[in-house]
């Protein structure tokens, strides 16, 4: 076997044909018996698989199941997504977070409709050229939908490989990523079964080779696992250095007028661009303002804050937010500005931030 070029694999032979075939066979047999019945596993439609892959990035399976069904009901085909208004796409995505994914899906759907006849491209370079589609997503969609011999590495695969091959380095680091991609390319079946192999690897990482307390005794790869043999499964891969969390304190103003509530549209660029939220402002430690929220809400509205209703906890990437929702009275709202009185019954059609969605659900559980 050719020696791997990367440092982490230098000096180690990659699995030869025999062990590689046995590895595939063991994992495949396990997957067929143990795999979870997830909605996106019941289809070979590249569009539906693509949607699931976009949603699953950085989001738990349990949360995705519900959004996946709703999204496909609203946009049942790539054509439907490409013809939709981005606002409607964001509204349907609202609550899943990482809204760039939704914007990229929409932009890519438009490219696919115009340049690829409405079907997710089979050509790898063409897929990689789409907005928001990287090596992982292209590999996932093409292997699962078309059974193309494409490798993939996500967090689950990285953990499995790190343990299986005893790769002692930090999770998410460049050397580990490179080594895992080399292994993934080497191991992916070339003559059929790539999609199943990729899903089996991810499933093993999600359900058996878990970040904490891996269930090695139930693992089909136990006998060939380097970390199992060395007793190092629990500590591999080494934890990645995380940026420190930033505590943010906010005021959210709940101003109502009849059957409407006052919402504020975020700026057209930056995080959660163009989405709607309750007028929000950071209150504590102005020196530490995060730029996640505007410094005040005077640009088009004048609000008098009333009593606090409740506190809400919400996390946006590294920002840990405590938001105090307060009753408010608007004494002036300028026409044409970022503020708008919105019918409560119509809020569902707007792209509303996850935190505002939470706040409204708690403040007004039933629409007026």
Choosing from 53, 158, 196, 282, the catalytic residue is 53
Q: Which of 108, 209, 252, 323 binds ligand SF4 (CB under 6 A)?
A: 209
Contact stretch for ligand SF4 (CB under 6 A) within 1-9, 17-25, 188-196, 211-219: 211-219
Nearer to ligand SF4, 208 or 316 (CB): 208
Contacts of ligand SF4 in 149-178 (CB under 6 A): 160, 163-164
Nearer to ligand SF4, 8 or 157 (CB): 157
Nearer to ligand SF4, 233 or 301 (CB): 233
Nearer to ligand SF4, 163 or 314 (CB): 163
Smallest gap from residue 158 Cβ to ligand SF4 (A): 12
Smallest gap from residue 241 Cβ to ligand SF4 (A): 22
Contact stretch for ligand SF4 (CB under 6 A) within 215-223, 281-289, 324-332, 347-355: 215-223
Nearer to ligand SF4, 201 or 321 (CB): 201
The DSSP bridge pattern shows strands 246-257 and 260-265 to be antiparallel
343 is catalytic: no
Q: Which of 34, 45, 147, 222 binds ligand SF4 (CB under 6 A)?
A: 222
Q: Which of 65, 84, 86, 216 binds ligand SF4 (CB under 6 A)?
A: 216
For the chain, what is the radius of gyration of the CA atoms?
24
Contacts of ligand SF4 in 225-244 (CB under 6 A): 225, 227-228, 233
113 touching ligand SF4, by CB under 6 A = no
Nearer to ligand SF4, 188 or 221 (CB): 221
Smallest gap from residue 221 Cβ to ligand SF4 (A): 5
Q: Which residues are catalytically annotated?
A: 53
Binding site for ligand SF4 (CB under 6 A): 160, 163-164, 208-209, 214, 216, 219, 221-222, 225, 227-228, 233
């Amino acid at each position: 076997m050719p020696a791997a070029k990367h440092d982490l694999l230098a000096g180690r032979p990659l699995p030869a044909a025999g062990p590689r075939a046995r590895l595939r066979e063991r994992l495949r047999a396990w997957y067929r018996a143990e795999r979870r019945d997830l909605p996106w596993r019941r289809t070979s439609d590249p569009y539906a698989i693509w949607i699931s892959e976009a949603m699953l990035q950085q989001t738990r399976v349990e949360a995705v199941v519900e959004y996946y069904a709703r999204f496909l009901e609203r946009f049942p085909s790539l054509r439907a997504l490409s013809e939709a208004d981005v606002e409607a796409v964001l509204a349907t995505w609202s609550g899943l977070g990482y809204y760039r994914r939704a914007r990229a899906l929409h932009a890519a759907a438009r490219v696919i409709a115009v340049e690829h006849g409405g079907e997710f491209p089979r050509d790898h370079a063409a897929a990689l050229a789409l907005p928001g589609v990287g090596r992982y997503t292209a590999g996932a969609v093409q292997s699962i939908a078309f059974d193309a011999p494409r490798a993939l590495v996500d967090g689950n695969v990285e953990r499995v490989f790190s343990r299986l091959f005893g790769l002692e380095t930090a999770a998410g680091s460049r050397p580990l990523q490179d080594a895992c991609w080399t292994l993934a390319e080497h191991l992916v079946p070339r003559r059929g079964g790539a999609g199943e192999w990729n899903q089996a690897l991810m499933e093993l990482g999600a359900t058996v080779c878990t970040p904490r307390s891996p269930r090695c005794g139930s693992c089909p790869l136990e006998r060939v696992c380097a970390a199992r043999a060395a007793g190092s499964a629990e500590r591999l891969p080494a934890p990645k250095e995380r940026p420190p969390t930033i505590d943010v304190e906010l005021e959210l103003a709940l101003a109502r007028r009849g059957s409407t509530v006052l919402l504020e549209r975020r700026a057209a660029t930056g995080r959660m661009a163009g989405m709607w939220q309750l007028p929000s402002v950071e209150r504590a430690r102005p020196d530490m303002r995060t730029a996640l929220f505007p410094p005040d809400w005077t640009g088009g509205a004048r609000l008098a804050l009333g009593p606090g209703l409740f506190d809400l906890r919400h996390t946006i990437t590294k920002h840990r937010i405590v938001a105090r929702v307060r009753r408010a009275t608007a004494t002036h709202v300028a026409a044409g500005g970022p503020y708008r009185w919105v019918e409560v019954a119509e809020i569902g059609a707007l792209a509303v931030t996850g935190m505002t969605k939470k706040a409204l659900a708690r403040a007004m559980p039933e629409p007026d």
